Amino acid sequence: MEILSPQNARVKAWAQLQEKKHRDKQQKYIIEGIHLVQEALQAGADIECVAYDVEKGIPHELKAATVDTGQAIEWIGVSPAVIAKVSDTPSPQPTFAIVRKESRRWQELLLHEEGLVVVLDGLQDPGNVGTIIRSADASGAAGVLLGRGCADLYNPKTIRSTMGSLFHLPVVEGDLLTILPEARERGARMVTTSLAASRSCYEYDFGGNCWMVIGSEGRGVSPEVEALVDDTMIIPMPGKAESLNAAMAASVLLFEALRQRML
């Protein structure tokens, strides 16, 4: 199948997915580039269709990924004009995919009794949210929970920053004030960073079912969520930098937890 006109009704619906209200309405999102589409195919994501530059053909990496999974995917050859209309980048890549949102329940995060979960409270920067998801994936975390006020998980900038990790572990959106108390009742322990903490993150025991709460870039953890936290710790910074951004801080904590768990 080919779609060459940017005025095509289907193309217009794809282009609308750059906006959250349309992603919510259609219950779909867009991913761009060979790497992300390949990751989605290999992970068995619910892909509606894959579009590719009809002049260049289907990238061989995607053909191989489809053979591996045996998925029945609709492939659509499109013109560069269609790609330009749908993409949110100045130099669009020659392929994109439309993916249906998956309904995930936060209880999935409790499937691992010894799991480490990253909880994001009000992080508004899509790059930071995506990078934390990537670090959580790399360090073997059980999943990521995005509270209200966080950047949209399906924002194209968030998705790009995950580098495909979005498809590797459970990432759930929900109300922290409802979820965290129930998770605590089921044995989860809540910990966050605080400049007033007396204990270093290198002294803290990250064992067991540990939920690590990361606050927003500007305000930190909200008072309502902080009231639900069991423990606090501090990241030692003997240098002159005033602070780390949220993604860097989360990565430091995740890999310290990994170090402890591996040893």
Which residue from 143, 140, 159 is spatially nearest to 37, judged by alpha carbons? 159
Please identify which residue in the block is written with the tokens 């919510």. Answer: 24
Question: Model pTM greater than 0.75?
Answer: yes
pLDDT above 80 for 236: yes
The 8-class DSSP code of residue 143 comes to E
Mean pLDDT value of segment 187-196:
94
Cα separation, 95 vs 4, in Å, equals 14
Instruction: Report the pLDDT value the prediction gives residue 218, as an integer from 0 to 100.
Output: 81
Cα separation, 253 vs 247, in Å, equals 10
Tokens coding 22: 């349309």
Instruction: Report the pLDDT value the prediction gives residue 69, as an integer from 0 to 100.
Output: 61
DSSP state string for 251-263: HHHHHHHHHHHH-
What φ, ψ does residue 70 adopt, rounded to 5°? 70, 20
The least confident of 18-27, 62-71, 201-210, 246-255 is: 62-71
pLDDT digits (tens, 9 = 90+) for 21-37: 999 999 999 999 999 99
pLDDT digits (tens, 9 = 90+) for 155-190: 999 999 999 999 999 999 999 999 999 999 999 999
Q: Count CA atoms closer than 13 A to 248's CA, side-chain side.
A: 7
Determine contact, residues 159/93, Cβ cutoff 8 Å. Answer: no
159-185: b or e for each residue (b if 16 or more CB lie within 10 Å)?
Answer: bbbbbbbbbbbbbbbbebeebbeebbe
pLDDT above 90 for 101: yes
Helix (H) or strand (E) holding 68: helix 60-69
Q: What letter represents residue 77's amino acid?
A: G
| Ordered structural domains, the chain, with CATH | 2-100 (3.30.1330.30), 106-262 (3.40.1280.10)
Q: Count CA atoms closer than 13 A to 117's CA, side-chain side.
A: 35
**For the chain, percent of residues with pLDDT exceeding 90:** 86
Tokens coding 203: 């002294």
pLDDT confidence tier of residue 67, bands split at 50, 70 and 90? low
pLDDT above 80 for 263: no
Which residue from 174, 175, 172, 171 is spatially nearest to 162, judged by alpha carbons? 171
Mean pLDDT rounded to a whole number for the chain: 94
Mean pLDDT value of segment 191-210:
95
